[in-house]
Structure 1
Amino acid sequence: MRALVLDRPGTCDTLRLADLPTPEPGPGQVRVEVEACGLNPSDYQRAAYGIPEWEWPAVLGLDVVGTVDAVGEGVTSVKAGQRVAFHGDIRARGGFAEYALADVMVLARVPDGLTPESAAAVPSAGLTAYQAVVRRLHVGNDDCVLVTGGAGGVGGFAVQLAALAGARVIATEAAHNADHVKALGAGAVIDFRTEDITARVRELTGGRGVDAVVDTIGSESATANLGLLVHGGGLAAIAGRPDLSVVPPFGMAPSVHEIALGAAYTVGDGRVRTQLSTMLTDLLTLLADKRIAPMLSRTVSLEEVPAALVELSGRGVRGKIVYVRG
C-alpha cells in the first residue's frame, strides 16, 4: 500500500511517500480502506520524539474514516463494506496511508450523507472537547464557560458543545478570529493579545467568574484561569496541568480534570476504549444533524500532508485540515 512514512524522529518535512505491506487484521481488529484522515497537533508532536512501540518506518494519522475492507478473527459486530470512523492508537501505524487497522471496539458508524472529510475532522479534537464539556465538566443550561483558543480544533468543538448545552460561552482568541468563534456559539471573545483575560472575564460576568474552564493552551494559562472559577467550579486541562497551590485549600473547592485521549489505549481497558466509540457516535450524529459544524478549513492530498503539518505546528491554523484520498 502507498503510505506517508517517518523513518526516524524529526520534523514533519522529513515525511516521505513509500510502499508498505498491506496490514492484515488480527483478532478483534478490522482493516479499513482509508477515505480521509484528520491532521492533529499530536501528529507533529509524536513525529518529533517518536513512540517506543512504533514499527519503523512509522505512519502518522489518528483520525480515520473509511470502509471496512477485512475483519479479523472474532469480529461479528461489523462487516466488510460498512463505513466507519475511529480515533486510532498512538502506538500503531495510522491513517496517512491507503489502509489502516483498528480495534473493533473503538469504531463508530458514519451516518449516511456525511462526507468523509467532515467525519474525519471530528475524532481527536471532538472527543477531547466532548470529554471535557460533557463527561467531565457536565456543562449545562445557565452555566458560564470560558474556553481558551476558541478557533482551534478542541476549542472550537468545546465552544459548540457548551453552547449546545445552553451555556453562556466566553472564548479567548485573536481579534481576526472573533467573528468565526462567535458564529460557533461564543457570546463574547476576548483578544488574548491585547486584553487582560482575567479583568475582562470579571467585567463580562459582573465580577462573578465562570462555572467551568476548558483550557487548551498550557499549564500557565490553566493556573491563571483557576482563579476565575466560582465555588465548586471545574477546569478541564487539555495541554497542561494547573498549579493547584495557587488556590487555598477547602475554599473555592475547584475540580480539575486532565484530558488524555490517547491514554484510553495505553493505560485504559476495553471498557474505556468502548467509550471512544460511544462518544464518537454521539458527535457524528450531532454533525449529521447539523447541530455542530466540522470546522473544516481545507482538504489536502497525501503529498501535501507534510507541509500542512508544518503549518499546523505554527499554531495559526483555524479549524481542521483533513487529508482526503484521491
Structure 2
Amino acid sequence: MRALVLDRPGSPDTLRLADLPVPEAGPGQVRVRVEACGLNPVDYQIAGGGHPQWEWPHVLGLDVAGTVDAVGEGVTQVRVGQRVAFHGDLRRPGGFAEFAVADADVLAPLPDDLDAVTAAALPCAGMAAYQAVFRRLHVTAGRTVLVTGGAGGVGGFAVQLAAGVGARVIATSSAGNAAYVRQLGAHDVVDYQQQDVAARVRELTGGRGVDAVVDTVGPDSAAAHLGLLVHGGGLVAVSGRPERNTVAPFTTAPSLHEIALGSAYSHGDEQARADLAAMLGALFTMVTEKRLAPMTSRTVALEEVPSSLAELATRHARGKTVYAAG
C-alpha cells in the first residue's frame, strides 16, 4: 500500500512516500480502507521524539475515517463494508496510508449523511473539547468560559460546545482570526498578541473572572490563567499541566484537569476505549443535527501532509486540515 512514513524521529519534512505491506487485522481488530485522516499537533509533536513501541518505518495519523475492509477473529459488532471512524492508538501505525488497523471496540459508525472528511476532522480535537467542556468542567448556561486558542481545532470546538449550551465564551486569538472565532460562538475575543489577556478578561467580566478555562496553548498559559478562576472554578489543560503555585492553597480552590485521549489505550480499560467511540458518536450526532461545525478548513493529498503539518507547527493554522484519499 502507499503510505507516508517516518524513518526515524524527525520534523514533518523528513516524512516520505513509500510502499508498505498491507496490514492484517488481528484478533479483536478490523482493517479500514482509509478515505480520510485528520491532521493534529500530536502528529508532529510525537514525530520529533518518536515512541519506544514504534517499529520503523512508522506511519503517523490518528484520526481515521473509511470503510471496514477486513475483520479479525472474534469481531462480531462490525461488518465488512461498514463506514466507520476512530481515534487511533499512537503506539501503532496510523492513517496516513491506504489502510489502517484499529481495535473494533473504538470504532464509531458513520451516519449515512456524514462524509469521511468531516468525520476525520472530529476525533482528536473534537473529543478533547467534548471532554473538557462536558466531562471535566460541566459547563452549563450562564457560566463564563475562557478558551485560549479559539481559532484552532480544540479551541474552536470548545467555543462551539460551550456557547451551544448557553455559556458566555471569551476566547483568545490573533486579530486576523477574531471574526472567525466570533462566528463560532465567542461573545468576546481577546487579541493575545496585542492585549494583556488577564487584564482584558477581568475588564470584560467586571472584575469577577471566569467559571472555567479551557487552555489549549501550554503549561505557561494555563498557569497564567489559573488566577482568573472564581472560587471553585475549573481549568482544563489540553497541552500540558500548569504549575499550581500561582494560586495560594485554600483560597479560590480551583480544580485542575488534563486531557489525554491516547492514554485510554495505554492506561485505560475496555470501558475507557469504548468511551472513545461513544464520544465520537455524540459529536457525529451534533454535526448531522447542525449543532456543531466540523471546521474543516481544507483537504490535502498524501504528499501535501508534511507541509501541512509544518504549518500546524506554527500554531497559527485555522480550523482542521484533513488528508483525503484520492
Q: TM-score range by the shorter chain?
A: over 0.9
2:224 maps to 1:198 = no
Whole-Å separation in 1 of the counterparts to 2:287 and 2:153:
15
The residue that corresponds to 2:319 in the other structure is 319
Whole-Å separation in 2 of the counterparts to 1:199 and 1:6:
44
* CA positional deviation for 1:245: 1.4
* CA positional deviation for 1:114: 1.2
Whole-Å separation in 2 of the counterparts to 1:204 and 1:63:
37
Whole-Å separation in 2 of the counterparts to 1:242 and 1:14:
32
The aligned runs of 1:114-129 (5 Å cut-off) are 114-129=114-129
Q: Which amino acid aligns with 1:163?
A: A
Whole-Å separation in 1 of the counterparts to 2:55 and 2:240:
28
Deviations 1:154-210 (A, max 9, x none): 000000010111100000000110010000000000000111111111111111110
Whole-Å separation in 2 of the counterparts to 1:113 and 1:89:
27
* CA positional deviation for 1:147: 0.1
* CA positional deviation for 1:145: 0.1
The aligned runs of 1:161-310 (5 Å cut-off) are 161-310=161-310
The residue that corresponds to 1:39 in the other structure is 39
Name the SS of the counterpart of 2:25 in structure 1. Answer: coil
Name the SS of the counterpart of 1:199 in structure 2. Answer: helix
Whole-Å separation in 2 of the counterparts to 1:308 and 1:289:
30
Whole-Å separation in 2 of the counterparts to 1:127 and 1:167:
19
Q: Which amino acid aligns with 1:291?
A: R
Deviations 1:234-287 (A, max 9, x none): 000011212111212122111000111111111111111111000000001111
* CA positional deviation for 1:47: 1.1
User: Structure 1 vs Structure 2: percent identity of aligned residues?
Assistant: 68
Name the SS of the counterpart of 1:244 in structure 2. Answer: coil
Whole-Å separation in 2 of the counterparts to 1:150 and 1:66:
29
Q: Which moved more, 1:184-193 or 1:260-269?
A: 260-269
Whole-Å separation in 1 of the counterparts to 2:105 and 2:138:
25
Whole-Å separation in 1 of the counterparts to 2:256 and 2:192:
23
Whole-Å separation in 1 of the counterparts to 2:246 and 2:309:
36
The residue that corresponds to 1:52 in the other structure is 52
* CA positional deviation for 1:55: 1.4
Whole-Å separation in 2 of the counterparts to 1:133 and 1:114:
24
How many positions carry a matched residue from both structures? 326
Name the SS of the counterpart of 2:58 in structure 1. Answer: coil
* CA positional deviation for 1:105: 1.0
TM-score by length of 1: 0.99
TM-score by length of 2: 0.99
Q: Which moved more, 1:91-100 or 1:199-208?
A: 199-208
Deviations 1:78-123 (A, max 9, x none): 1011100100000000000000001111110111111211111110
The residue that corresponds to 1:2 in the other structure is 2
* CA positional deviation for 1:293: 0.5
Q: Which amino acid aligns with 1:32?
A: V
Whole-Å separation in 2 of the counterparts to 1:138 and 1:72:
38
Q: Which amino acid aligns with 1:276?
A: L
Deviations 1:33-85 (A, max 9, x none): 00000001111111111111011100000000000111111111110111001
Where in structure 2 are there 5+ consecutive unaligned residues?
Answer: none
The residue that corresponds to 2:99 in the other structure is 99
* CA positional deviation for 1:316: 1.4
Deviations 1:116-140 (A, max 9, x none): 1111111010011111111100001
Q: Which amino acid aligns with 2:114?
A: L
Q: Which amino acid aligns with 2:223?
A: T
